[in-house]
Amino acid sequence: MRTGGSFDWNQLRSFLAVLDEGSLAAAARVTGISQPTLGRHIDELEADLDATLFSRGRGGMLPTETALKIAEQAREMKRSSEVISSAAADTAQTLRGTVRITASDIVSTYLLPAVLAQALERYPGIEIELHASNTQENLLQRDADIAIRMTRPTQNDLIARKIGEFGMGTYAHRSYLERAGSPSTAGELSAHTIVGYDRDDTIIRGFAAAGHMVQRKFFRFRCDNQIAAWRAVCEGVGIGFGPNRLARQEPQLVRLLPDMQIPSLPVWLVSHRELRTSLRIRTVSPLLWEQLSQLDLG
């Protein structure tokens, strides 16, 4: 919700879920939204309203008088939203055609499949083409309808919405650390097998920005395919760098050197301005943004 009349439906939905279920954990199970995201939505809503909505305690999330007062208005908004969704469902049956999406290998593999499954289920007439590549397709030449990029485009003809930011960290498998030991400083990394890219200088430039000058040979294992490089880290080849979200899915990975700051990677949803006239794009693009922006990328 925003002061001045507009509101963020994600915040209201999380508010009602926590109100009805009594705790962040229970609300997360019902909605499928992570507890950190639910908590962030509640904090943002409280900040927007300049009011406390819940008392946090061992017994859960207890609604305050303010929360109870706005609950019925929020439920009315939910009912209105359901009416709109019903009308949209009727429209969905008339949607036909192909939506071509381009995204990096990592995003295409780890983030998009579940979201695209929802799009295909919700809109039976839509077909999805997913181009998984770390090269940037030219949206101005219509090589793709929608792009998910790690940099914000500067062209005026493109519309970009920020989804979030990938938090990054340094990781190694327990088996590697058992045989090679753990570095305690960034300077000790040179004594280890480091997983990096081959011809892509992204990591080298990242080290330089942090004040550490390294060369290509610093990486004893090199591969430009980001998924293959990440799997090498997960299988114990050596120490590498990757998104915290992916690392949380690998229980045998250990985070190293938490004080070594690695810049986060912004994630942008981009489309051509003229495609606003396309019903397919105006339907699928907001769905992608809504679902992806709820993910905990930090």
Q: Which two tokens stand for residue 196?
A: 């990096």
Q: Is the pLDDT of residue 87 over 60?
A: no
Indicate the average pLDDT of the chain.
86
pLDDT digit string (tens) for 34-73?
A: 889 999 999 999 998 999 999 887 778 899 999 998 888 8
Residue recorded with tokens 């490089």: 229
Asked whether residue 86 carries a pLDDT value surpassing 80, the answer given is no
Question: Taking the complete model, does pTM exceed 0.85, yes or no?
Answer: no
- Exposure of 95 by Cβ count < 10 A (0-12 exposed, 13-18 middle, 19+ buried)? middle
Q: Report the run of H or E that residue 248 belongs to, with start and end.
A: none
pLDDT in tens, 257-292: 988 888 888 999 988 776 666 788 888 988 999 999
Domain boundaries, the chain: 9-92, 97-164+265-293, 168-256
Question: Does residue 92 carry a pLDDT above 80?
Answer: no
Q: Looking at residue 2, what is its pLDDT?
A: 43
Q: Report the pLDDT value the prediction gives residue 228, as an integer from 0 to 100.
A: 95
Instruction: State mean pLDDT over 17-34.
Output: 88
97-164+265-293 matches 9-92 in CATH topology: no
CB under 8 Å to 179, separation ≥6 — which residues? none
Separation between Cα atoms, residue 271 and residue 153, nearest integer Å:
10
CB of 91 closer than 8 Å to CB of 120: no
Per-residue pLDDT at 136:
67
**pLDDT tens profile 141-179:** 667 889 998 888 777 778 889 999 999 999 999 999 999
Amino acid residing at 209: A
Overall average pLDDT of the 117-122 stretch: 92
Q: Does the CA dihedral 148-150-156-161 come out positive or negative? A: positive
Tell me, what's the pLDDT at 4?
43
Pairing of strands 240-243, 168-173: antiparallel
Q: What is the pLDDT of residue 194?
A: 95
How many Cα neighbours within 13 Å face the side chain of 163? 30
Q: Does domain 168-256 have CATH number 1.10.150.120?
A: no
CATH topology of domain 97-164+265-293: D-Maltodextrin-Binding Protein; domain 2 (3.40.190)
> Number of H helices and number of E strands within the chain?
11, 12
DSSP 230: H
pLDDT, residue 233, reads 97
**Closest CA relative to residue 275, chosen from 125, 141, 117, 102:** 141
pLDDT at 91: 53
Kindly report, residue by residue over 194-230, the tens digit of the pLDDT: 999 998 888 888 778 777 788 889 999 999 999 999 9
pLDDT for res 140 = 55
Query: Residue with structure tokens 């908004």?
Result: 77
Which of 47, 54, 65, 67 shows the shortest CA–CA distance to 23?
54
Say which CATH architecture domain 9-92 belongs to. Answer: Orthogonal Bundle (1.10)
Position 5 scores a pLDDT of 47
Instruction: Calculate the dihedral angle through the C-alpha atoms of 196, 198, 202, 204, rounding to the nearest 10 degrees.
Output: 70
The burial class, CB within 10 Å (0-12 / 13-18 / 19+), for 125 is exposed
Q: Give me the torsion for CA of 154, 99, 91, 5, rounded to 10°.
A: -20
